[in-house]
Chains A and B, each alone.
Chain A
Amino acid sequence: MRVSRGEVVMNYVLLIAFALFALAPVLTILIGSVSAPLGEPAGFYPGNYLEAWTVGGFGSSLGNSVVVAAIVVGLATVLSIGSGYALGTMRFPGATVLFYLFLLGMMIPAEATIIPLFFDLRTLGLTDTYLAIALPQVAQSIAFGTFWLRAQFRSMPTSLLEAAALDGAGPLRALRSILVPASRPAIVTLVVLVFMWTWNEFLIALIMTPSGSRRTAPLGLATFQGQYTSETALLAAAAVIIALPTVILFLFLQRHFIRGMLEGVAK
């Protein structure tokens, strides 16, 4: 089927215009990050990255982000595999109600849970800890993970599980040696999405670390902006440092991001 030449040109014009629109802020930041810091003559300043890293203390805030992300991704994935397995392959009374309870969690905004959590955890002396930042995010990710892996495990042929049972494998071995290996792509998608959500999370991290001692990378950037508002070059360099991990992951694992973000929400 032919599409007229005029239409093809028009299509390209629109696509290129929107691609430029999408890229413009990214390029602004990239160019800004190597341009002259306050009071310096114009030029190329790759040293801004080092300067921003040291001045903004990003070593420690990135470290905090890594710890929080490891806890959230690890716990949420393992726990969701368990709940997805139970809800996706086993029949038991109350299964439907439980499934809807988990589904509800995908709609509960962090704004609603984080205030009581903050005050209750403060009473217990647990604010300013990694767990205070991580566990509310684990809960959110479990809601999605359960839903996601239930669908995945349900779609597996039952003959696989029956064969495992005939071989005398218990439910845990069937899960570990058959279902999980066969579901690797879906699990990778879950890991990648949960990592991105956790890495980019702002509100929960902001509230749960009132002293700033467990400040994650996005909070480090917010604090940096508060202190050095006019240092646009250093601020841009810091922004690039924080955006880089998820952007690189996205460029390499695009299919997982896109599949998860589209199918996960579309079902």
Chain B
Amino acid sequence: MARSWVTPLLFLLPAFAVYAAFALYPLGRAAQFSLFEWRGFGASTFVGLQNYVDLAGDAAFRAAIGNALVLIVFYAVIPLVVGLVLAAILRRGQVRGMGFFRTVIFLPQVIALVVVAVAWRQIYSPVGPLNQVLEAVGLGGLTRGWLGDPGTALASVGFIGTWVEMGLVMLLMLSGMSRIPAELFEAARLDGAGPVKEFFAITLPAVRGEITVALVLTIIAALKTFDLVYMTTSGGPGNSTTVPSYEVYFRAFDLREVGSASAVAIVLTLLIFAINVGVTRIGERES
């Protein structure tokens, strides 16, 4: 009888040991760290939940949450609309070069975000192509350093997110739409339904599951947008582009407030769990 669990355990144990040591255990340690005040060296003081209480009144943390909400529009909502429309067009067929469009629009997903940041910094720079184009079309009054201007920095970072995420969403939608039987569309068209009506009556309801998945992925990407913020704005000007993920790093390694950084990390983790469960629940209830 012993054999029945010895064999599976032998196969499972190595993976589980590494996973537990380098993911589960440190998560527990982060929760523990968040209850202390510690500068990264020397003695630490137990402060209970004080780090969390402080976060509630912390301007930078509140800015990070507010910015993340704005970024969700750019990372999740706009790519969802774009992805749905593009996928619907590709699915309706009679488009040559479907493979080409799919590849090109998905390409941003595989490029390292540091590289993406370098590219967009050049585009947004005061002497960059974006301002050159604006000058050329007579909108010279709009030119600025897009990432340095407090009024446009967050939207500029967000727009990069739109560029990165739209291909992923489009492909998710395409895979959902590929399951819709062709007869459904034919019947709708025989009834005289145009592309818009067809989209709302057949396509949209069929990809509800994929919409849920797309929202979970892109909302989490918005909360975790560390690489881009680190490389383009360092959270500035002021706190105008900081995000929870950047706050974790900044607090731990620049401010040397390891306890507070850990509290932000735990809040971020709980947010991610909640979004996963919440968005999935809503998706299930709707169907």
Contact = CB atoms under 8 A, between A and B. Distances in A.
Interface of A: 1, 3, 7-8, 11-12, 14-15, 18-19, 21-26, 28-29, 32, 75, 79-80, 82-83, 85-87, 90-93, 95, 98, 101-102, 104-105, 107-109, 111-120, 135-136, 138-140, 142-143, 145-146, 171, 175, 196, 199-200, 202-203, 206-207, 217-219, 221-222, 225, 232, 235-236, 238-240, 242-243, 246-247, 249-251, 254, 257-258, 261-263, 265-266
A218 B5 CA distance: 43
B103 A107 contact: no
A136 B249 CA distance: 16
Binding site secondary structure of chain A: helix
Interface in B237-258: 244-245, 248-249, 252-253, 258
B253 to A, nearest CB: 7
Contacts of A142: 15, 18-19
6 contacts: A8-B95, A25-B120, A90-B8, A112-B265, A112-B269, A225-B231
Interface stretch (B21-29, B135-143, B149-157): B21-29
B264 to A, nearest CB: 8
A22 B163 contact: yes
B146 to A, nearest CB: 13
Interface in B116-146: 116, 118-123, 125, 129
Interface in B25-71: 26-27, 29-30, 32-33, 40
A203 B249 contact: yes
B163 to A, nearest CB: 7
B249 A202 contact: no
Contacts, number: 274
Given A83-B12, A111-B268, A135-B22, A116 B5 contact: no
B266 A112 contact: yes
A135 B18 contact: yes
A235 B118 contact: yes
A114 B268 CA distance: 13
Nearest to A259: B175
Contacts of A107: 269, 272-273, 276
A24 B14 CA distance: 45
B185 A202 contact: no
A254 B99 CA distance: 10
Contacts of B114: 200, 202, 218-219, 221-222, 239, 242
Given A32-B122, A90-B8, A218-B114, 8 more contacts: A11-B89, A29-B122, A90-B11, A113-B22, A115-B30, A206-B249, A250-B107, A265-B217
A207 B93 CA distance: 47
Contact of B163 (A21, A83, A242): A21
Contact of A120 (B18, B29, B120): B29
Contact of B209 (A109, A238, A247, A266): A266
Interface of B: 4-5, 7-9, 11-12, 14-16, 18-19, 21-24, 26-27, 29-30, 32-33, 40, 82, 85-86, 89-90, 92-95, 100-101, 103-116, 118-123, 125, 129, 163, 166-168, 171-172, 175, 185-186, 189, 195, 209-210, 213, 217, 220, 224, 226-227, 230-231, 244-245, 248-249, 252-253, 258, 261-262, 265-266, 268-269, 272-273, 276
A261 B19 CA distance: 21
B92 A113 contact: no
Nearest to B33: A116
A115 B33 contact: yes
A144 B26 CA distance: 18
B18 A243 contact: no
Q: Which of A22, A83, A138, A225 has the most chain B CB atoms inside 10 A of its CB? A: A22
Contacts of A257: 110
A265 B217 CA distance: 8
B139 to A, nearest CB: 17
Contact of A258 (B8, B111, B171, B195): B171
Contact of B15 (A12, A79, A112): A79
Given A14-B89, A232-B122, A86 B11 contact: yes
B92 A262 contact: no
B50 to A, nearest CB: 18
B284 to A, nearest CB: 14
B278 to A, nearest CB: 13
A122 to B, nearest CB: 9
B169 to A, nearest CB: 11
A116 B171 CA distance: 36
A243 B94 CA distance: 33
